[in-house]
Structure 1
Amino acid sequence: MVFRVDMITLMFGLKRYHHLLILLGFIIATVMATEAMIIAAFPGIEEEFGVSSVIIAWILPAVMLVGAVLLLAIGSLGDILGKRRIVLACLIVYGAGVALAGYAPDMPTLLISRTLQGLGLAIAPLAYALVAEETPVEWVATSIGVLAATYGAGSFIGIMSGAFIIEQIGWRACFLVMVPVVLLLIVFAWHIIPDHGIRKKGKIDLIGMMLFAISILSGMIAITWIGLAGISDPLVWICIGVSICSLFLFLRHENQTEDPLLDLGMIHEAPFPEITINAFLVVFSFFILLQVMPYLIASPAGLALSVIYVGILLMPGSLTDMISGPLAGFMVSRKGVVIPFILGALFLLFGCGIYFLFPMTPVLVVCIWMIFSAGMSILLTIDNMIVVASAPPGSTATASAFLHTIQSIGGALGPIVAGAALTLYAPEEAFTVIFLVVLGVSAIILFQSAGIRRHLP
């Protein structure tokens, strides 16, 4: 099947894969813009609905949880049924979730709408797989870097516009303004995404997906309950036990079933274990800071600034995120992965480390977020390049989905850990504890990055 944009190709002189890259970039940017818009509203939603910080911390993980559970299934469906139809289905469900969030009257409804929005994140591995399959080999690394930059572009637009919309209209408007955008993306996706490529035979492992979901959800509930009732509460340990048992049963099932949700043989091979651990730690630490930043900027225990400043102070970090993705792709094509990998890890360590070196000011917040965002973008861009390049033929979407699943688990756990700290400790103590945790994780990432060369195939 040929693209349905030949006339546009002739008019503007763009290649067919350029249209695909632009569309996929806009899809990812839209999803990230919606996520970033709502960040500044966390303290306001907490006050409006009368819930604790650890419950508000589920606003981000609700999306990540669904992404973590469904990404492997979505990736497999993309390889089996075709990526075009799965992208369209995800966009439709995502749009319904965005519309519902705009009218959420209470916290449960908001969280339900956020779970539907999790299908937006599920498009990411399909996007990376499409780019790898449809782009000329010599441009794959650069194209993946450009695609990674759209995360920062979306965050930049969302953070700035979201803070303004929240202060002038209200947080629900952040979702409502995105509904027509999603509808347009559905139309363009129908016309631009090709319906061909390598496909494999198989079926979806529903039992594996259920066990995987139970393991992740029970683990997140355990962390949340620590913040609400303390680590000695029996429910905490019951949830931890359920999580561990479900994970064991999931791995056992995947080894025995004919059509596993997760190809354990593939992920045992280098460099999948090392790259996925790196991606988990990077996203985990990033989302811990993302959750705490609105409180650090707007709460009385922090800088006590108005909501609009959440957008203003985080905006430069989104710009560095946007620039660092393509830069990482360029560096990899010229220097290989080792040097930029270590550079990204150093950015993470230095970005959170300067919190302890200087008094807290708006300028320091900007510096922390810019440096940390640059390191995050560099590392995740390289992680995606390596996984897509290492995937067996016909399994690019599945391999990319596995990586994004691990990232989603990290993104889901990070805010819960931050929310628990904000609930358990006084605000100033909580800020210190959170940055110490991120500093420790960043040190582990640097240690791991220093040995990345020997883990590459």
Structure 2
Amino acid sequence: MVTIEKQDANSSVWRTLIILSSLGLIVLFDETMILPAIPDFIHNFNISYSTSSWLLSAYIIAAAVVTPIGGKLSDIYGKKKILLIVMAVYIAGVLAGRFATNIEFMLAARAAQGVGMAAFPIAFGIIREVFPEKKFAMAQTIFGSMFPAGAVIGLVGGAAIIQNFGWRATFLAVLPVAIALWLIIVKFVRVQSPITMAANNPSNDQTIDIKGTLALAATIILFLTGITFIESNGADSWYQIAALFAASGASLAAFIAIEKRTHSPLLDFKLMKNKNFLPPTIILMLTFLSIFMVYLTVPVMVRSPEPLGFGGNALAVASVQLPFMVVFMIGTIMSGFVLNRVKNTKLALIGTAISTIGFFILLMFHSTESMVSVGLTILAAGLSLSITGGFNVILVSVPMQMTGIALGMTLLLNLVGMSVGPVFAGILQQMYQGTVEGVEGQFPTQDAYNLIFITAAFVSLASFALALAVSRRKAVPAIAHEGTPKADEKR
């Protein structure tokens, strides 16, 4: 009888993992499926290239705002309840995307879809609750592998759907799967009640830094809007531009003041003084900023008419970016094992070096689709190493009780980098345009692509310099798999 109960409990745990891991597939599918369609959005909504960057930025900013709030609410009201609410908002955003007829409505839909990113830390918290400690590392690997897998499926599947049925059909493809997953979570996922959790964790802080979250969101949005206005309106709207930057500065000052006073800050400035924590956090932020500049650029380059682009379709975008996604997926999984043999700071250094080489290859050799694909592949290899190494340095640089705060701060700053990158790329695409005989409209020129790639390369070079400085310090011991000697122990 006891054996049967243990088997049932074990099967329930693995069932929960499979269900919640599916979130990564669906949400990352949604995030990447629109990449091949960015030129279609520009044409259908009659928007500039700089405005199109907000299709990514709106999604990411919403994620940055909602993720910390969702995590706190899940601790107070229950993880399952908040997870279902977050997913309901995401499903509404997917449905709204199908019926968007203008850019404003689409950006609102994308922001609602970005709320779905808040499901990840909540789902991870559920997995951590239900899995025994000995099996948690395996569960973490499976859960994490669904993110790049979802990106691969989204890129290929999204391109095929866009090519054959149009971009609106991509949202319809996700919708029934998301609804089905919502219903499955309702029926099959079992978690502790918030009352039980509070009893088990009486010291758990249940305050929510809503003011700080909104102040940070206002700072980012006003800053990016001001940059966009510089390109689109120029000197004619200098007073509006000045007002936006002034408001952004005021919001930043308010954010800092709020964070210094609040009991549960988004950014713990005391933690920022940790010399082992701040540099790898900045490395990751710069890494994501640079790669998201490329995310927006490649689809436009591939689908622009020759000779300014490659004259390809949505499927061509997928074929160029697919090696990047596949290598990143494999590299993310394998780098966890490499970490057992290579010092974490050295792994981050190697990764940033390879990424920087990849960006310079893109800068020098982007005249054909195959060359771009090779550059992206090298970039993906470096990216997987630098992210794994950087995160591991952060994890072991702070006390155990500060791990959640440290990861939350890191995720928040990464999202800031992700939101800024596309806007800078979009502005450069809008500033340097040309025409093609016989084709209506204007398209980014080689000058735009060169400036984007060189900017990304120098941002990556800055992250390499930081990684070099970190690696020269006293080694930070890596978290190794059980039974495997750590890098420091073997030296």
CA gap of 1:387–1:141, structure 2 versus 1, over 3 A, is: farther
Which shifted more, 424-433 or 330-339? 330-339
CA gap of 1:386–1:136, structure 2 versus 1, over 3 A, is: farther
Aligned AA (1:317): F
2:464 counterpart residue number: 446
1:314 counterpart residue number: 321
1:219 counterpart residue number: 223
Which structure would you say has the larger RCO, counting Cα contacts within 8 Å and 6 or more residues apart? 1
Give the deviation of 1:390 after TM superposition.
Answer: 5.5
CA gap of 1:18–1:263, structure 2 versus 1, over 3 A, is: farther
1:205 counterpart residue number: 209
Aligned AA (2:45): F
2:110 counterpart residue number: 114
Q: Give the whole-Å Cα distance in 2 for the aligned partners of 1:396 and 1:344.
A: 23
- The CA deviation string for residues 318-340 of structure 1, in whole angstroms up to 9 with x for no partner, is 11111111112112234341232
The 3-state SS of whatever aligns with 1:260 is coil
> Could you tell me which of 241, 245, 258 is aligned with 2:246?
241
1:287 counterpart residue number: 292
Give the deviation of 1:415 after TM superposition.
Answer: 0.7
Q: Give the whole-Å Cα distance in 1 for the aligned partners of 2:40 and 2:291.
A: 22
The aligned runs of 1:401-412 (5 Å cut-off) are 401-412=408-419
- The CA deviation string for residues 269-304 of structure 1, in whole angstroms up to 9 with x for no partner, is 353322321221111111100000011111021211
- The CA deviation string for residues 343-362 of structure 1, in whole angstroms up to 9 with x for no partner, is 22122112111124435112
Give the deviation of 1:316 after TM superposition.
Answer: 1.5
Q: Give the whole-Å Cα distance in 2 for the aligned partners of 1:34 and 1:448.
A: 33
Give the deviation of 1:241 after TM superposition.
Answer: 2.1
Matched, 1:298 2:291: no
2:480 counterpart residue number: none
CA gap of 1:375–1:23, structure 2 versus 1, over 3 A, is: farther
Give the deviation of 1:373 after TM superposition.
Answer: 2.2
Given that 1:45 and 1:56 are in contact with CA atoms closer than 8 Å, whether structure 2 keeps it comes out as yes
2:486 counterpart residue number: none
Q: Give the whole-Å Cα distance in 1 for the aligned partners of 2:157 and 2:279.
A: 37
Give the deviation of 1:402 after TM superposition.
Answer: 2.2
Matched, 1:44 2:49: no
- The CA deviation string for residues 373-424 of structure 1, in whole angstroms up to 9 with x for no partner, is 2322333334444445556566655443322211111111111111000001
Which shifted more, 49-58 or 373-382? 373-382
CA gap of 1:286–1:264, structure 2 versus 1, over 3 A, is: same
Whose Rg is larger? Answer: 2
Aligned AA (1:297): V
Matched, 1:373 2:383: no
TM-score for both structures, normalised by structure 1: 0.90
CA gap of 1:443–1:57, structure 2 versus 1, over 3 A, is: same
Q: Give the whole-Å Cα distance in 1 for the aligned partners of 2:366 and 2:230.
A: 31
2:370 counterpart residue number: 363
Given that 1:62 and 1:111 are in contact with CA atoms closer than 8 Å, whether structure 2 keeps it comes out as yes
Given that 1:87 and 1:126 are in contact with CA atoms closer than 8 Å, whether structure 2 keeps it comes out as yes
Q: Give the whole-Å Cα distance in 1 for the aligned partners of 2:315 and 2:161.
A: 9
The 3-state SS of whatever aligns with 1:451 is helix
Aligned AA (1:352): F
Give the deviation of 1:163 after TM superposition.
Answer: 1.0
2:439 counterpart residue number: none
- The CA deviation string for residues 84-104 of structure 1, in whole angstroms up to 9 with x for no partner, is 333222111111111111111
Aligned AA (1:277): I
Given that 1:79 and 1:394 are in contact with CA atoms closer than 8 Å, whether structure 2 keeps it comes out as no
1:172 counterpart residue number: 168
Q: Give the whole-Å Cα distance in 1 for the aligned partners of 2:149 and 2:76.
A: 31
CA gap of 1:390–1:90, structure 2 versus 1, over 3 A, is: farther
Given that 2:89 and 2:115 are in contact with CA atoms closer than 8 Å, whether structure 1 keeps it comes out as yes
The 3-state SS of whatever aligns with 1:402 is helix
Give the deviation of 1:444 after TM superposition.
Answer: 1.0
The aligned runs of 1:388-407 (5 Å cut-off) are 388=395, 396-407=403-414
Given that 1:347 and 1:375 are in contact with CA atoms closer than 8 Å, whether structure 2 keeps it comes out as yes
Aligned AA (2:65): V
Matched, 1:194 2:198: no
CA gap of 1:375–1:210, structure 2 versus 1, over 3 A, is: same
Q: Give the whole-Å Cα distance in 2 for the aligned partners of 1:347 and 1:390.
A: 24
The 3-state SS of whatever aligns with 2:340 is helix
Aligned AA (1:429): D
CA gap of 1:250–1:279, structure 2 versus 1, over 3 A, is: same
Which shifted more, 155-164 or 325-334? 325-334
Q: Give the whole-Å Cα distance in 2 for the aligned partners of 1:332 and 1:423.
A: 42
Between Structure 1 and Structure 2, how many residues are aligned?
A: 450
Given that 2:152 and 2:322 are in contact with CA atoms closer than 8 Å, whether structure 1 keeps it comes out as yes
The 3-state SS of whatever aligns with 1:208 is helix
Matched, 1:90 2:81: no
Give the deviation of 1:263 after TM superposition.
Answer: 3.3
Give the deviation of 1:308 after TM superposition.
Answer: 1.5
User: For the aligned residues, what is the CA RMSD?
Assistant: 2.7
The aligned runs of 1:142-153 (5 Å cut-off) are 143-153=139-149
Aligned AA (1:221): T
TM-score for both structures, normalised by structure 2: 0.84
2:156 counterpart residue number: 160
1:258 counterpart residue number: 263
Given that 1:53 and 1:422 are in contact with CA atoms closer than 8 Å, whether structure 2 keeps it comes out as yes
Matched, 1:53 2:49: yes
Q: Give the whole-Å Cα distance in 2 for the aligned partners of 1:434 and 1:323.
A: 27
> Could you tell me which of 265, 277, 284 is aligned with 2:282?
277
Q: Give the whole-Å Cα distance in 2 for the aligned partners of 1:449 and 1:213.
A: 28
Q: Give the whole-Å Cα distance in 1 for the aligned partners of 2:340 and 2:79.
A: 27
Give the deviation of 1:305 after TM superposition.
Answer: 1.4
Matched, 1:431 2:435: no
Which residues of structure 1 form unaligned runs of 5+?
A: 1-5
Q: Give the whole-Å Cα distance in 2 for the aligned partners of 1:271 and 1:146.
A: 28
The 3-state SS of whatever aligns with 1:104 is coil
The 3-state SS of whatever aligns with 2:101 is coil
Which shifted more, 349-358 or 45-54? 349-358
